Chains A and B, each alone.
Chain A
Amino acid sequence: MNALTLEERGISSRVMWLYLGTGLAVFALMAVLGLTMRMAQATWISLDPTMFYAIMTLHGAGMITSMALCGMGGLWSLMYREHRMRPSVAYWAYGLVVAGVVAVLLSVFPGKFGAGWTFLYPLPFIGATWPSWATGLFLIGIALVTAGWIVWCIQMFGCVVSAYGGLRGALAWDLVFHPKEFAASGREAPPPQAFAALVASVDGLLAGAAGMLIGVALIVRWLSPSTVLDPLWAKNLTFFFGHTFANLTIYMAIAFVYVGLPRYVDREWHTSQVLAVAWWGTLLFVATAYFHHLYMDFVQPRSVQYVGEVASYLAAFPPAIVTVFGGVLLVYRSRMRWTLGSLFMYAGMAGWIVGGFGAVLDATIPINSILHNTLWVPAHFHTYLLEGVLLFVLGWVFHNLEERSGAATSALVRWIAGLGIFGGGAIFLLGFYVGGADGVPRRYAMQPPPGPEISAWASTGAIILLAGLVVVLVEGIRLARKRAASAA
C-alpha cells in the first residue's frame, strides 16, 4: 500500500462519501416505504393494492441498490489505497446507477409500475395496471443500474489484478500452494479487503452480464410485443442476477469490518491461507447458490436443485468459520474500545450469521416446500440486510466520523440507539419469521390471518427501529459538525 497524498485523500474521500451519502439517503426513503407497507398489512392505514405493489417494487429494487452503492463507494476508497484508480470511472458508474434509480423512481411515481423487483417474465406485460411507458422506464432503469454496476466491477477487477500481480496474485495462489517460497520471496499477500473486492467484481460481472441479458431481452419484448421468451430461462437469469447482486452487498460491506475492527482492538487482521481459501469458496458458492430460488420450479433439472442446496450450505462456511469467527477472535480479551462504530461492526457480524442461519434452513429443499415465498424469505434477508450490511456500513461511517472528529458517542446515546436498532429490529424481524412459519404469504397487500395481527407488532418494532436510526443520524450529524468545526 502506498500512502495517499493530500490530493489523493481528497479524491478517495469524495468518491466514498458521494456513494455512501446517496446510498444512505436512498435507504432512508426505502425504509419509510417499507414501514408504510407493513402498516398497510397491519390494516393501520389503507393502501390501494396498485399503490402497494408499486411501492413494493420500488422498495425491493431501491433497498438493494442503496446498500450496493454504500459497498461500492466504501470498497472503492479502500482499494484506492492499494492501487490508484481513475475517479472519473467511479463517477461514471455512480452516474449510471443514480440515473437508473431515478428512472425506476419515475416508473413507480407517477407510473405505478408494480411487477416487483423480480419483474418475472411475462408479468411486466400481462395484466398490467400501469401504462406501457412505466414498464419501459423501469426496465431501462434496471439496465442503467446494471450498467453502472458493471463499470464499477470492471474497474475494481482491474484494480485488484494490477495491485497484486495478476489474478494468481490476487487469489493468493502462491501463499496457499507454495507458502515457503512465497514467504522467502518477501512478497505480501493481498489484504483481506482485496478478496472482498475480487469476489464482488468477478461474481458481480457474472451477475451483471445475466442482468443485462434479461434486461435487454425484456426491453426488446417491450418494444416488440410479438417477441417470445422462455419463462424458465428468464426466471433463471433474473434470480441469478438479483440473488447474486443482493448477496454481494454483504461481501462488499465486510471489507469495512476487515479494516475498521482491528483499529478498535489494536490487533491485526491479516491474510492467512485459510482466509484466502475461504474467499475462493465464496467466489464459487455465491455464484451457484441462486438455484435455491427455483426449488419449487420442478421442471428445473434435478441436478441443479442439488447444487442449490449444497452450494447454499457451503456458502455459510467462509463467514461462519473464517470471517465472523476471525472477527470474534479479534475481539476476545482485547480491551476493545466500544463506540458506535465498533458496536455496529461487531453486532453486524451476529446479524449476518443469524440471517444466514435462517437462509440455510430455507435452502433445505423439504423445508423450502413450506417456507418458499412466505414471510420467511423477507425474514432472513431483512436480517442480514438491516442487522448485517446496514450495520457494517454505519460502522464504517462512524469509524470515519470518530477518527476525524476525535470525539466519541456517549454511553447513553449508544444504549438508546442500540435498544432501538436491536430491540426494535428483533421485534420487526420476528414478525417475518413467525409469519413465515405460519405460512403467511409474502407480497400480499392484504394478508390472511394471522398476518394482520403479526404485521401490527412488526410495525411497532419497525417504528422503534427507525427511531433508533434517527438517533444514529442525529449523532452522526453531531460528529460530522464537530469535525467540520475542528477543521475550521
Chain B
Amino acid sequence: MDFNQAVLTVFIVGAALIVAAMAAVALTSGGAPQPQSEVQPRGYALRRRWFWALAAATVLALIISLPHLPYPSASAMAADMHVTVTAQQYGFTLPAELPRGRPIIFDVTSRDVNHGFGIYGPDGRLIGQVQAMPDYVNHLPFTFTVPGHYTIRCLEYCGVGHAYMQASFEVK
C-alpha cells in the first residue's frame, strides 16, 4: 500500500470508528435511562482520558511529521542541482529530461497568475507539489528514485484552461 492509499485507509477506519461510537451511544438512549447526575461523573472521567489520548496523538503526529517537511534546507539550496520551472497560462517550461538519484531543487515561479506545480509519478500518483507564484520563486527539493515518464499538472485554479495545463519529463 502506498502513502496516498494509507492516508485514505486511516481516514476510512477513523471515520467508521467515530460513526460506530456515536451510533452505539444513540442506541443506549432507547434503554433504561440514567439521571444526568450519575452519567456526568463517569463521562467526565472518560473525557480526561480522551483528552490525554488526543494530546498524545497530537504530539506523536508532530514528532512524526515535522522532520519530513517538504521545504529545502540551506545546505540543500547551496549544494543541489537547480532546475528552473516557469508556469504560464496554460503550460510549464522545464527540461524534458531529469537525472535519477540526484537531489534536485525545482525553482518554481509564474509569469502571470498563481499556478500549482504537481508532480505525478509513472504510476499516476501525486508525489509532490509546490505553488508557482508570480513575483516569487518557490524552491521544491526532490530526488527521483524511479525512472520513467512523469507528468506535471497545474494544481491551483488558474483560469479556463486550468484542466489542460500539463507538461511531462523523463527521469533516466
Chain A residue numbers with a CB within 8 Å of B140 are 298
B89–A333 touching, CB < 8 Å:
no
What is the minimal beta-carbon distance from B168 to any residue of chain A, in angstroms?
13
What is the minimal beta-carbon distance from B20 to any residue of chain A, in angstroms?
10
Q: A487 contacts the other chain (Cβ, under 8 Å)? A: no
Chain A residue numbers with a CB within 8 Å of B146 are none
Q: B70 contacts the other chain (Cβ, under 8 Å)? A: yes
What is the minimal beta-carbon distance from B83 to any residue of chain A, in angstroms?
15
A231–B69 touching, CB < 8 Å:
no
A231–B157 touching, CB < 8 Å:
no
CA distance A443 to B58 in the complex (A): 31
CA distance A82 to B10 in the complex (A): 43
B68–A366 touching, CB < 8 Å:
yes
- Given A126-B89, A296-B116, A350-B19: A335 touches B135 (CB 8 Å cut-off): no
B114–A123 touching, CB < 8 Å:
yes
Interface of B is mostly: mixed
The stretch from A164-172, A177-185, A368-376, A388-396 touching chain B is A368-376
Tell me the nearest residue of chain A to B58, going by C-beta: A313
Q: Mark B11-48, 1 if CB is under 8 A from A, else 0.
A: 11011001101100110111111101001100100010
B43–A231 touching, CB < 8 Å:
no
Q: A49 contacts the other chain (Cβ, under 8 Å)? A: yes
Q: A477 contacts the other chain (Cβ, under 8 Å)? A: no
What is the minimal beta-carbon distance from A251 to any residue of chain B, in angstroms?
19
Q: A116 contacts the other chain (Cβ, under 8 Å)? A: yes
Chain A residue numbers with a CB within 8 Å of B29 are 265, 331-336, 338
CA distance A118 to B37 in the complex (A): 48
What is the minimal beta-carbon distance from A262 to any residue of chain B, in angstroms?
10
The stretch from A187-195, A200-208, A216-224, A431-439 touching chain B is A431-439
Pick the contact of B54: A232, A265, A320 (CB < 8 A): A320
A439–B125 touching, CB < 8 Å:
yes
Tell me the nearest residue of chain B to A129, going by C-beta: B160
A residues near B, CB below 8 A?
49-50, 53, 114-116, 118, 120, 122-123, 126-129, 230-232, 235, 265, 267-268, 274, 296-299, 302, 305-306, 309-310, 313-314, 316-317, 320-322, 325, 328-336, 338, 346, 349-350, 353-354, 357-358, 361, 364-367, 369-374, 433-434, 436-439, 441-449
Tell me the nearest residue of chain B to A357, going by C-beta: B14
Chain B, 57-85, CB within 8 A of any chain A CB? 58, 61-62, 65-66, 68-72
- Total chain B interface residues with beta-carbon distance under 8 A: 76
Question: 4 additional contacts, CB 8 Å, given A357-B15, A439-B126?
Answer: A116-B157, A120-B114, A333-B34, A443-B162
A335–B33 touching, CB < 8 Å:
yes
Q: Mark B112-147, 1 if CB is under 8 A from A, else 0.
A: 111010101000111111110111111110000000
B136–A299 touching, CB < 8 Å:
yes
Q: B155 contacts the other chain (Cβ, under 8 Å)? A: yes
Pick the contact of A439: B43, B114, B124, B134 (CB < 8 A): B124
B71–A328 touching, CB < 8 Å:
no
CA distance A429 to B138 in the complex (A): 33
B47–A126 touching, CB < 8 Å:
no
- Given A313-B61, A313-B62, A334-B29: A296 touches B130 (CB 8 Å cut-off): yes
| 20 contacting pairs across A/B (C-beta < 8 A) | A53-B159, A231-B136, A296-B129, A298-B140, A309-B62, A316-B54, A321-B50, A321-B54, A325-B43, A325-B47, A329-B43, A333-B28, A336-B26, A364-B65, A366-B68, A369-B70, A369-B129, A433-B11, A441-B153, A444-B163
Pick the contact of A332: B43, B68, B120 (CB < 8 A): B43
